[in-house]
Structure 1
Amino acid sequence: MSEATVTVNIDGMTCGSCSYKIECEVGDLPGVKDAKVDLKAKTGTFTYDSSSSTGPAQIVAKINELGFKATQA
């Protein structure tokens, strides 16, 4: 297993509940090891198993699915 990290720009967050929701939902994706969202910086940093089916595209898609606007940094 090898880990990789991706930073994502996230627009549309207004409070701590927004960042918490993203951390929880993305953290539940298979292969995601760590999810940290910075509300002030409007970014998220996600560590995942690079050999899993989850990668940057799936992480961005999940955040967008939650109603936020995510783009890979």
Structure 2
Amino acid sequence: MSTTYNVTGMTCGHCVASVKEEVGEVAGVTDVDVDLSTGLVTVTGAADDSLVRAAIKEAGYQVT
């Protein structure tokens, strides 16, 4: 199962790495794909939605 989030505030490769690292640590996440140009973050696995959203916020970005 995969879920896609629209994330604002990412501007560079470091942003992408930060989001991947934080979301990748959430229990149940098996893969994280971040598209900087569209702001879309696709999370694969059986992770809790609220935990994924919290991880994105922890990385310093907003889910819209």
Scaled by the length of structure 2, what TM-score is found?
0.89
Partners of 2:55 and 2:40 lie apart in 1 by 14
Root-mean-square deviation over aligned CA pairs: 1.1
* Structure whose alpha-carbon radius of gyration is higher: 1
The structure with the greater share of residues assigned to helix is 2
After TM superposition, the runs of 4+ consecutive aligned structure 1 residues lying more than 6 A away are none
Deviation at 1:5, TM superposition (A): 0.8
Task: Tell me which moved more, 32-41 or 55-64.
Answer: 55-64
Ranges in structure 1 where 5+ consecutive residues have no aligned partner? none
- What is the aligned length? 64
- The alignment-based identity, stated in percent, is 38
With normalisation by structure 1, the TM-score equals: 0.79
Distance 1:57 1:18 in 2: 20
Instruction: Give the conservation status (yes or no) of the 8 Å contact 1:48–1:55.
Output: no
2:6 is paired with a residue of what secondary structure?
Answer: strand
Which consecutive unaligned segments of at least 5 residues does structure 2 have?
Answer: none
- Given the alignment of the two structures, is residue 20 of structure 1 paired with residue 17 of structure 2, yes or no? yes
Kindly provide the amino acid, as one letter, of the partner of residue 42 in structure 1: G
**Displacement, 1:26?**
0.6
